[in-house]
Amino acid sequence: MRIFVARLPGTPVFDPAGDQLGRVRDVVVGLRVARRPDVHGMVVEMQPRRRVFLPITRIRGIEAGAVVFTGRINLRRFEQRPGETLVVGEMLDMNVRVDGEPVTVYDAAMEEVKPSTWEITKVAVYRRRRRDPRVVDWSEVAGIDALQSDQGAAGLIESFASMRAADVASTLHHLPAKRRLEIARALDDDRLADVLEELPPDDQIGILGRLDPERAADVLEEMGPDDAADLLHDLPDEQAAELLALMEPREAAPVRRLLTYPENSAGGVMTSEPVILPPTATVAEALAHVRQQDLTPAVAAQVYVARPPTETPTGTYLGVAHFQRLLREPPSTLLGAVLDPSIDPIRPEFTLIDVTSYLATYNLVAAPVVDELCRLVGAVTVDDVLDHLLPEDWREGADRDR
């Protein structure tokens, strides 16, 4: 059976009882002189973001949409050893030669050559200019083990297409810094912004600092203002000021406002772009807004009602309409008639402990934040609070020794 490795990332891994262990993230191989690489096993990501090694000898079967293993696995974190190569993370997009002609690798196939022994037998390549794909034997490929200054990233990015931003971020975090930067530069601004929001601060700074300043500013514009402010907080003051100056004034304005609040306050963690509508808007209009795909569930759970202008800082804040209430009302009902009078807004200077207590007391996933003039300046969501209450390295928690 021949399996193309680039199709494996994201495939669920099950034990014999049918319980899911995690998802495949990569395949580990050992390169050998004048011989086909042998497959050592798979990198499997368990929650929360814990990568472990699944030896190929413990895999019972690889079927459509599933990998089944024997049920025994070492839960120690995966560490790549000298001489090992990650097929998806490091081999895709390599520039090699076939019959003396320059080509680029976009996939590799592994086959079980004898029971529990797998090798990379085929390589899928395309000519760099014409992109006419073909599959060749491993023995026909030259240069696949050479260090390359600019490897490209098209093939790896294609394998990311169906992955969530958090999973892409986890994959990037585990790649060498050079490869991580190559991929970041090849991602479009919107996708890179989503991925940056999920990376640990050190990775964020390392990537943003190596991008052209104009490109870095464009990416910051695509990030949520609260995430952009958090990242700028971690940069040297001079670099942060330069990037803010390069951002479009309209995009930079909410970020500048967020930077004026203490980092561990309601103002410092809130989003400045919740769903805001005037009291004359209808329930149907509100539901259309919360239906937007780019809203997180926490942001979409509530609609904030304020007098114009309806961009933060708004006119006078009037109240909040919960998503569940909107579902129970006729579409033509005005929002002014469905406000929850029991929810008082909080102030930007509230500490994270204050905000956490408030959300827990009222069983809320988000809370409105108003200034001294009773203008809505943002909303704190439960995911904002968790991001800041967890240890700074929580995004790397799966890699810490336990």
Distant-in-sequence, close-in-space partners of 226: CB < 8 Å, separation ≥ 6: 258, 269, 270, 271, 272, 378, 384
Give the end of a domain, one of 113, 142, 171: 142
**Can you give the pLDDT at residue 149?**
57
**Can you give the pLDDT at residue 8?**
94
Closest CA to 297 of 204, 366, 398: 366
Number of domains in the chain: 2
Whether residue 397 is predicted with pLDDT greater than 60 in this model: the reply is no
Closest CA to 199 of 174, 235, 182: 174
Residue 290 lies in a domain: yes
Whether residue 147 is predicted with pLDDT greater than 60 in this model: the reply is no
Give the end of a domain, one of 90, 121, 142: 142
* E strand or H helix that includes residue 114: strand 101-114
**230-246 residue pLDDT tens:** 999 999 999 999 999 99
Distance (Å, rounded) from C-alpha 278 to C-alpha 37? 63
Closest CA to 247 of 229, 272, 262, 230: 229
Residue 233 lies in a domain: no
Q: Which residues pair with 52 in a beta bridge?
A: 44, 77
Residue 216 lies in a domain: no
Length of the chain, in residues: 402
Residue 172 lies in a domain: no
Domain CATH code at residue 301:
3.10.580.10
* 3 state DSSP class of 145: coil
* 3 state DSSP class of 206: helix
Distance (Å, rounded) from C-alpha 278 to C-alpha 293? 22
Secondary structure (DSSP) of 304-325: EEESSP-SSS-SBEEEEEEHHH
* E strand or H helix that includes residue 45: strand 35-46
Residue 44 lies in a domain: yes
Tell me which of 149 and 252 has the higher pLDDT: 252
φ and ψ of 236, to 5 deg: -55, 145
- β 12-14/66-69 pair status: parallel
Whether residue 130 is predicted with pLDDT greater than 70 in this model: the reply is no
Distance (Å, rounded) from C-alpha 68 to C-alpha 156? 25
**Can you give the pLDDT at residue 399?**
45
**162-208 residue pLDDT tens:** 788 988 998 899 888 888 999 999 999 999 999 999 999 999 999 99
**Can you give the pLDDT at residue 400?**
45
* Average confidence (pLDDT) over 19-40: 92
**Can you give the pLDDT at residue 178?**
87
Predicted TM-score (pTM) above 0.85: no
**Can you give the pLDDT at residue 146?**
60
Q: Is the peptide bond between 348 and the residue preceding it cis, with omega within 30 degrees of 0?
A: no
- β 276-277/302-306 pair status: parallel
Q: Which residues form the domain of 18?
A: 2-142
Pair 196, 223: CB distance under 8 Å: yes
Residues above pLDDT 90, as percent of the chain? 74
Tell me which of 50 and 279 has the higher pLDDT: 279
Give the end of a domain, one of 127, 142, 157: 142
* 3 state DSSP class of 113: strand
Residue 201 lies in a domain: no
φ and ψ of 21, to 5 deg: -85, -40
Whether residue 318 is predicted with pLDDT greater than 50 in this model: the reply is yes
The model's confidence at residue 402, banded by pLDDT at 50, 70 and 90, is very low
The model's confidence at residue 110, banded by pLDDT at 50, 70 and 90, is very high
Pair 232, 240: CB distance under 8 Å: yes
Distant-in-sequence, close-in-space partners of 90: CB < 8 Å, separation ≥ 6: 175, 176, 179
**356-372 residue pLDDT tens:** 999 999 999 999 999 99
Secondary structure (DSSP) of 325-355: HHHHS-TT-BGGGS--TT---B-TT-BHHHH
The model's confidence at residue 129, banded by pLDDT at 50, 70 and 90, is low
**Can you give the pLDDT at residue 131?**
67
